[in-house]
Structure 1
């Protein structure tokens, strides 16, 4: 893929549509766009001659990079409402940074893209089931001490780094299980998305420097054209999705979206097994 190909209007249109769609759904359903972005970016890159193994890795890394931008606007909105539990953020963030770097700088670089595709498929399938059933964990305890939150943060950051997601499907259930009110858990998870994204992106960039055969526009494992277009478009539609959430049947939409996630998980599983 050369630089001239990056200016292809069809490519820009594809990425813009993906950004607009994921931004709207993130605002509407309160989920990050990683689960949608990774399969579609994988398809887009594969169609342009990027080997499947590399396409999966770059899709995961690029998806995570977009969270840096989307999390900032989300956190500002939640903070204005006083919903972010900054005390929890302070305790989870150090573990998140360590776990993220261990995942993105270490394990991510060592694993083949096909293995990551299979892991992604299993994670998305599990997350889709949670969304479809709309099950919420019963709050049975309080947040653990500093050591426990450090370990929890490490787990959240590590898994997020392997699937290119912001960690909300892990951190929100964990916090609500620990008696954190759901609106605080969602807001705090949004705030945690920033250190998750920054630490993982740093790992993706460093671990990708020695990789051979990267396509034009690559910065480590980050594909800059997709990052720029998707981030710019998703920021535009996320507020529209949040507004629509107050008038649309979100529970029913979640089940429809979960069904779509099953299809995307099946595609990524096929991609991994085929590779």
Structure 2
């Protein structure tokens, strides 16, 4: 299938433009990088262009992490201005998250596509169940643990996020709310986690894919430059609207919206696993 064919090119551009708008909006609204939208969209785009699943999936994940860089920066800045970002926790997580991302990026070079999809489904399903049930009984303790445990959490967030191609918002949000952190503060801090994950994650996927002959000509490792450039304009445009809406919604409404979104993404990837 030729990318120069208008019948192929125009629908792909439209899909990436729409995906960019959703990525930016979700980054602001839920404090996530938007990978839950971009990974399945990019995966479908790369398969449409004729790439095998073992190339399409890590390429989708790596490109998703690249897109998360500007959206997570803009989202975290918006939440920071409202005073709801836990900067102390972000500083504590910086190195552990980096270590987790490095490990996840290394695994990406050899793991089959089902590994990425299964990790995505498990994390999304647990988080969705917690949010939609109102959080009753879903609490590990009434406050965050000590620094050692928090560093371990940070490494886990980095590892899982690198495998899922997300900014870590879904994972860190789950951890924080399980420790009685209010949803608005959890969402805002999770936006900052995206910055910690996206930059090293993108570099890791670039390195992991270097030298592969079956990648598209625009790709740097497992990152598609063309896809990145087509997605970014609308994602940057819509991030501010997501931030504004997040701070207007009540705790219950924000939790319900986030839960429904994660459930939809979970079902999408479950379908992909069963259809494989």
TM-score, length basis structure 2: 0.86
Could you tell me which residue of structure 2 aligns to residue 208 of structure 1? 209
Would you say the 8 A contact 2:206–2:223 is kept in 1?
Answer: yes
What is the CA–CA distance in structure 2 between the aligned matches of 1:225 and 1:134, rounded to whole Å? Answer: 41
Would you say the 8 A contact 1:38–1:59 is kept in 2?
Answer: yes
Could you tell me which residue of structure 1 aligns to residue 126 of structure 2? 126
What is the CA–CA distance in structure 2 between the aligned matches of 1:236 and 1:20, rounded to whole Å? Answer: 7
Could you tell me which residue of structure 2 aligns to residue 102 of structure 1? 103
Give the deviation of 1:66 after TM superposition.
Answer: 1.2
Could you tell me which residue of structure 1 aligns to residue 177 of structure 2? 176
SS of residue in 2 equivalent to 1:8:
helix
- Which sections of structure 1, spanning at least 5 residues, go unmatched? none
Confirm or deny that 1:189 pairs with 2:193: no
What is the CA–CA distance in structure 1 between the aligned matches of 2:128 and 2:221, rounded to whole Å? Answer: 30
Change (3 A) 1:240 1:181: closer
SS of residue in 2 equivalent to 1:150:
helix
Could you tell me which residue of structure 2 aligns to residue 83 of structure 1? 84
What is the CA–CA distance in structure 2 between the aligned matches of 1:77 and 1:258, rounded to whole Å? Answer: 23
The worse-fitting range, judged by mean Cα deviation, of 39-48 and 261-270 is 261-270
Would you say the 8 A contact 1:141–1:179 is kept in 2?
Answer: yes
- Which sections of structure 2, spanning at least 5 residues, go unmatched? none
Matches within 5 A, 1:1-275: 4=4, 8-104=9-105, 106-135=106-135, 137-138=138-139, 140-245=141-246, 246=248, 250=254, 253-254=257-258, 256-270=260-274, 274=276
Change (3 A) 1:54 1:145: same
SS of residue in 1 equivalent to 2:109:
helix
Would you say the 8 A contact 2:162–2:201 is kept in 1?
Answer: yes
Change (3 A) 1:222 1:5: farther
Give the deviation of 1:167 after TM superposition.
Answer: 1.4
Q: How many residues are treated as equivalent by the alignment? A: 271
Would you say the 8 A contact 1:28–1:242 is kept in 2?
Answer: yes
SS of residue in 2 equivalent to 1:197:
helix
Give the deviation of 1:46 after TM superposition.
Answer: 0.6
Residue deviations 1:45-78 (CA, integer Å, cap 9, x gap) = 1111011111111111111111111111111112
What is the CA–CA distance in structure 2 between the aligned matches of 1:158 and 1:32, rounded to whole Å? Answer: 15
The worse-fitting range, judged by mean Cα deviation, of 182-191 and 150-159 is 182-191
Change (3 A) 1:211 1:132: farther
Would you say the 8 A contact 1:39–1:267 is kept in 2?
Answer: no
What is the CA–CA distance in structure 2 between the aligned matches of 1:120 and 1:252, rounded to whole Å? Answer: 19
Change (3 A) 1:270 1:211: farther
Would you say the 8 A contact 1:52–1:114 is kept in 2?
Answer: no
Change (3 A) 1:94 1:231: same
What is the CA–CA distance in structure 1 between the aligned matches of 2:153 and 2:254, rounded to whole Å? Answer: 29
What is the CA–CA distance in structure 1 between the aligned matches of 2:58 and 2:24, rounded to whole Å? Answer: 22
The worse-fitting range, judged by mean Cα deviation, of 224-233 and 123-132 is 123-132
